[in-house]
Structure 1
Amino acid sequence: MTVFDRLHQGEHIDIRDAGYQREVHGEIDRCDHLCWQLRQTDPAAKQRLVELENELFNGQIKDGTYLTPPMSVDCASQVTLGKNVYINHHVTMMSLGGVQIDDGAMLGPEVGLFTVNHEPSNLHTIMTKPIHIEKGAWLGARVSVLPGVTIGQGAIVGTKSVVTKDIPPYTVAVGNPARVIRQLEH
């Protein structure tokens, strides 16, 4: 069983663990290098950008999915992207715990997806929970999504909101912490 599997099953792991260092830091190094290459690539070199993004996300950039570099993704092997996903520039994905972004979801500039946290009594020990952004959801600029959150289908999260709890489908949520302010027709 991999360290990724252990974390996905809810195990808390000390970041000094040799397996963690080998597996997770190996993936972080791979992603850091590819994100660096994306930052160094001329924006007009569209084909090269798509090649690098596909290498980063294991061939998932297709069927209308579009990302705007630069980006910071630490564990892209733990990210699942649907069709027609749009991710604007400067996204940050701390994705060790798993991120799933469904078809047609859109993320504004500087969105942060954070699946990792530390045990308060031992900061060397981490725990993860996945983030799920369902079909057609839209996150405004600078939204932060914390571990374990699901953004429901067709939901809208307003700019600079901090999402600490699930957002129901077809609602609008804003604030810190984000709270639902209205229901959307669908």
Structure 2
Amino acid sequence: MKRVDMRTKAYAPDIIELNRSGDLCFEINQTKPRTEKMRQLINELLLTPLDATSNIASPMDIDRGKMLHIGKHVFINHHLTAMAIDNITIEDNVMIGPDVSLLTANHDFSDHYVLEAAPILIKRNAWIGAKAVILPGITVGENAVVAGGAVVTKNVPANTVVGGNPARILKELDEK
């Protein structure tokens, strides 16, 4: 887990990225959906072209667009919240429901100006249900399903369904 002190000069580039991403999310959220202009704004937010087979529905709140990496054939429904002080990687063929939160950081309990961050990895063909919350350092395995409303505090094995708060394995799926 990486530690980031928000009071240091080393945090200054993060503030620039927060402002850049916030301004772009505002503009995206005010733009007519499914237009070329929206696609251009999303590409500017991510600092890389979103594959033509992938889509992110607005509105969205992504605090560090350059830390979000999205594969092919990915669909992310509206109201994604991505707090990405560390990387968030979404591999190919992933579906993410509405109102999902991907959170790569938490505050240190003894010093709230220190962030403890770890990356999130959502592997190929995973499905994240509506209003799920994925916490720092989590890997969601291939073909896994995170049930709606789940709070994921531990890695999700491949080919499983997890749900609840905290999420636990509800079912094992046949391997694909």
* TM-score interval, smaller chain: over 0.9
Instruction: Kindly indicate whether the alpha-carbon contact (under 8 Å) linking 1:68 and 1:87 is maintained by their aligned counterparts in 2.
Output: yes
Mapped partners of 2:113, 2:154: distance in 1: 25
Q: Aligned runs of 1:1-186 on 2, under 5 Å? A: 10-20=1-11, 22-43=12-33, 46-185=35-174, 186=176
Mapped partners of 1:43, 1:153: distance in 2: 30
Unaligned runs of 5+ in 1: 1-9
Per the TM alignment, residue 101 of structure 1 is displaced from its structure 2 partner at its CA by 0.2
Instruction: Kindly indicate whether the alpha-carbon contact (under 8 Å) linking 1:149 and 1:165 is maintained by their aligned counterparts in 2.
Output: yes
Per the TM alignment, residue 11 of structure 1 is displaced from its structure 2 partner at its CA by 3.9
Return the TM-score normalized by structure 2.
0.96
Mapped partners of 1:136, 1:60: distance in 2: 21
Q: Per-residue CA shift, 1:101-149, capped at 9, x if unaligned?
A: 0001111000000000111011111110000000000000000000000
Q: Per-residue CA shift, 1:30-71, capped at 9, x if unaligned?
A: 000000001111225x11110101111112311401110110
Unaligned runs of 5+ in 2: none
Q: Per-residue CA shift, 1:76-101, capped at 9, x if unaligned?
A: 11111111111000000001111000
Q: What percent of counterpart residues are identical?
A: 37
Q: What is the aligned residue count? A: 175
Mapped partners of 1:123, 1:60: distance in 2: 35
List structure 1 segments (4+ residues) > 6 angstroms apart after TM superposition.
Answer: none
